[in-house]
Amino acid sequence: MGLQAYLTLAAVVFCLGLFGTVTRRNTVGILLGIELMLNAVNINLVAFSRFRGDDSGMVLTLFAICITVAEVALGLAIVILLFRSRRTVSADHIDWLKG
Amino acid sequence: MTLEVVAFWAFAIVLVGAGLAVVLGKNLFHAVLWLALALVATAGVYLTLDAEFIAAVQVLLYAGGVVTVVVFAIVVTERLVGEKLSQTNRHITAGATVAVALLALLLRAIAQAQVTAAPPAPAGDLTRRLGTLLLTRYVLPFELLAVLLLVGLLGASYFARPEE
């Protein structure tokens, strides 16, 4: 397959994740959308790395995957913390900054 | 069609289908399971790119770790609240407009881009080369990543500590 096939696939998955991130009400659902977007970016990194014959992109993918794991753990800890204070996971109800 | 092309299309269809289920499904728990399928399909895409080590890391860390943590969080929070696992979307029209517009922009850029047609031949053992790179050229980011994981671990356990 050509590089453009991989880039197109990654673009479709990224836009799916973007759609999920902006439309989901549940904060865990929003996190799932962010996961999809990060995944799409990793596909791009690996594809460019393979087609350019440069392994640095794959190293960057490894870093991105590890950082994503830390991000998910902290994000879910924040979600659990929000529950304790507000008893909800709906992003619509987390509006303390609204004037 | 060669095996590689068939494999790419199979993984791509599974990935996009599972991604649709993740963002459109009503049941949050099912959405997480669809995300696990999407992540495994991504590992398959990496395999078609001859990146077997990345595919293994993807399955172990993402499909194993992330999905387990998300399922754990859902179980904890839903028990606290006692609501159903259903979830809804809002502003679907606006969200779809933004996503489709971005997709059109990206596809236009991809179609116009000058890209190499075929990848160079695989040059030996990828895992060995990645290991060498990680411990020579990228050793500082590698060690910083270890610190970041430690900080993330401590921070997450501090946030989620039992209430006093």
- Nearest chain B Cα distance for residue A90, angstroms: 9
User: Would you say the C-alpha torsion A34, A37, A43, A44 has a positive or negative sign?
Assistant: negative
What is this structure's pTM?
Answer: 0.89
Interface test with A, best of B14, B115, B126 (most A CBs within 10 A): B115
**Nearest Cα to Cα of residue B61 among A51, A84, A93, A70:** A70
Q: DSSP code of A1?
A: -
A45 touches chain B (CB under 8 A): no
**A4 with B118: Cβ contact below 8 A:** no
* pLDDT per position as a tens digit, B34-87: 999 999 999 999 999 888 999 999 998 888 888 888 888 777 776 555 555 566
pLDDT for residue B8: 93
**Structure tokens that stand for B122 in this block:** 């695989």
pLDDT for residue B65: 81
d(CA B79, CA A93) in angstroms, rounded, equals 19
Q: Helices A27-52 and B67-81 meet at what angle, rounded to 10?
A: 170
Count interface pairs A-B at CB distance under 8 A: 231
B contacts of A8 (beta carbons < 8 Å): 107, 110
- pLDDT at B156 exceeding the cut of 90: no
- Nearest chain B Cα distance for residue A98, angstroms: 19
d(CA B160, CA A47) in angstroms, rounded, equals 37
**Nearest Cα to Cα of residue A20 among B96, B66, B13:** B96
* B90 or A69, which is more confident: A69
pLDDT for residue B50: 87
d(CA B114, CA A59) in angstroms, rounded, equals 24
**B87 with A24: Cβ contact below 8 A:** yes
* pLDDT per position as a tens digit, A20-77: 999 888 888 888 999 999 999 999 999 999 888 888 999 999 999 999 988 888 888 8
d(CA B83, CA A5) in angstroms, rounded, equals 42
**Structure tokens that stand for A90 in this block:** 């709906």
Question: How much is the ipTM here?
Answer: 0.89
Label residue B164 by pLDDT band (50, 70, 90): low
Find tokens 């790179």 and name the residue. Answer: B133
